[in-house]
Amino acid sequence: MKKTIVFLLALGVLFSCKEAPKEEKEVIVEEKVEEVVTDRSGDFPKDIAAVFKAHGGIQAFDKQNTLIFELSKPEGNEKHTTDLKTRHARIETNKFALGFDGNEAWIEQDSTYFKGNPRFYHNLMFYFYAMPFVLGDDGISYEKVEDLKVEDKTYPGYKISYGDGVGDSPKDNYFIYYDAASHQMKYLGYTVTFFSKESSEKVSLIEYSDWTDVNGLLLPKTLKWRAYDDGVVGDIKSERAFVNAIASEEKLDTSLFSKPKE
């Protein structure tokens, strides 16, 4: 009789163990959100889209957050750093620092070495260096123009103009000319209206003579300013060389571009 009771108790314990509900653990799955960059190649005339593609693609440029380059100078290089999304900028030399924080341009120096206008200069070289990609900014219109003839070769071109209120100089015009076979950019014409605030017919011309790969983007190594009058391209007047270029998806701290407290 005792054996029977023990056996029944054992069965009871066994069944109670089987019927006990299992504890459910809450599993939290973290979703990795990736930044989606829209391909904007369809937003431009096909020739302009082809130029972007020849230089690495507008989508590759859109993925970058920071562009750094140095303008080579005998007295010491100028280091230019630009936030590509906000266009905040900083220029550093051994003589001065200059920047733009989104509202105002500032300059910090112990002398009067820099005598220009910080607001005008903070993005001047950036615009020339980041061609052709800056011609993909919002508020731009494209118009086909006559080919540019240089010696025995012609280069197709487009005029780029801006809508009212776009940037500090909406009356500026740019003229991009590219190689018909490779679609690589070859010449840039531009007007300057920052100071007069009036439209200008005086066009300056830059030759883009050689290129370098910067994280998948084809950017210039050397710019040559050419004499240019009434559509006729003349001799080289001056040159600018660029070194130590970096294009990065890293976003820099905004304090880098802030006006110094002192």
Domains of the chain: 43-257 (2.50.20)
Are 28 and 211 a contacting pair, CB within 8 Å?
Answer: no
- pLDDT, tens only, 172-190: 899 999 999 999 999 999 9
The C-alpha atoms of residue 137 and residue 86 are separated, in whole angstroms, by: 12
Quote the mean pLDDT of the chain: 84
From CA 51, how far away is CA 182, in angstroms rounded? 8
Q: What is the pLDDT of residues 73-96, one digit of tens each?
A: 998 999 999 999 999 999 999 999
pLDDT digits (tens, 9 = 90+) for 163-173: 665 555 567 89
- What's the mean pLDDT in 41-65? 93
Q: Which two tokens stand for residue 13?
A: 């314990």
SS3 243: strand
Per-residue confidence band for 110, with pLDDT thresholds at 50, 70 and 90 = confident
Sort 53 into a burial class: Cβ within 10 Å, 0-12 / 13-18 / 19+.
middle
pLDDT digits (tens, 9 = 90+) for 8-29: 333 344 434 444 444 444 444 4
Please give the pLDDT value at position 168. Answer: 54
pLDDT digit string, tens, across residues 184-215: 999 999 998 765 565 667 899 999 989 999 99
Model confidence at 134: pLDDT above 80? yes
| pLDDT average, residue stretch 40-53 | 87
- Mean pLDDT over residues 130-145, rounded? 93
Could you tell me the pTM of the whole model? 0.81
Q: Which residues contact 136 (CB under 8 A, 6 or more apart)?
A: 40, 43, 44, 48, 52, 58, 61
pLDDT for position 172: 83
Q: Which residue has the tokens 């190689």?
A: 179
Q: Flag the least confident range among 9-23, 56-70, 123-137, 241-255.
A: 9-23
The amino acid at residue 65 is: N
